[in-house]
Amino acid sequence: MTPPTPDHPPRPHGERTLRQAHPVPGGALASPVESVRQLLRGLVDYAGLFPPAKLGMAEAVAAFARHRRSAQAWGLSRFICPVSRLDEWSEAASPWLSALPDSPDAPPPEPWCLSVLIDGPLDASLSAIERFNAGHHAGNGHRHALSAVVDTVEVKVQNTQTVELALERLPEELYPFFEVPAEADYRGFAACLAGQGAGAKLRTGGIVPEAFPSCQRLAEFMQVMHAAEVPFKATAGLHHPVRGEHTLTYEPDAPRATMHGFVNVFVGAAMLHAGVVGGPGLVELLQETDPAAFVFGPEWAAWRSLRVSVEQIAQARENFAICFGSCSYDEPVNELAVMARS
Return the percentage of the chain with pLDDT > 90, whole number: 73
Q: What is the pTM of this model?
A: 0.89
pLDDT of residue 18 exceeding 90, the answer is no
Q: Give the pLDDT band (50/70/90) at residue 210.
A: very high
| CATH fold group of domain 34-341 | TIM Barrel (3.20.20)
Kindly state the average pLDDT of the residues 191-201.
98
Residue 89: CB atoms within 10 A of its CB come to 25
Helix (H) / strand (E) containing 68: helix 57-68
Those residues with Cβ within 8 angstroms of residue 42's Cβ, 6 or more apart along the chain or in another chain:
6, 20, 21, 22, 74, 75, 76, 77, 317, 323
pLDDT band at 15 (very low <50, low <70, confident <90, very high): low
Domain boundaries, the chain: 34-341
Give the mean pLDDT of 261-265.
Answer: 98
Question: Residue 289: pLDDT above 50?
Answer: yes
Contact 285, 294 (CB under 8 A): no
Q: Which of the listed ranges 16-20, 104-108, 291-295 does the model predict with the highest average pLDDT? A: 291-295
Contact by Cβ (8 Å): 109, 78: no
Predicted pLDDT at 97:
85
Lowest-confidence pick of 37-51, 126-140, 179-193, 211-225: 126-140
For residues 45 and 323, the answer to whether their CB atoms sit within 8 Å is yes
pLDDT of residue 13: 42
- Higher pLDDT: 25 or 270? It is 270
Mean pLDDT of the region 182-207: 97
Peptide bond between residue 101 and the one before it cis (omega within 30 degrees of 0): no
pLDDT, mean over the chain: 88
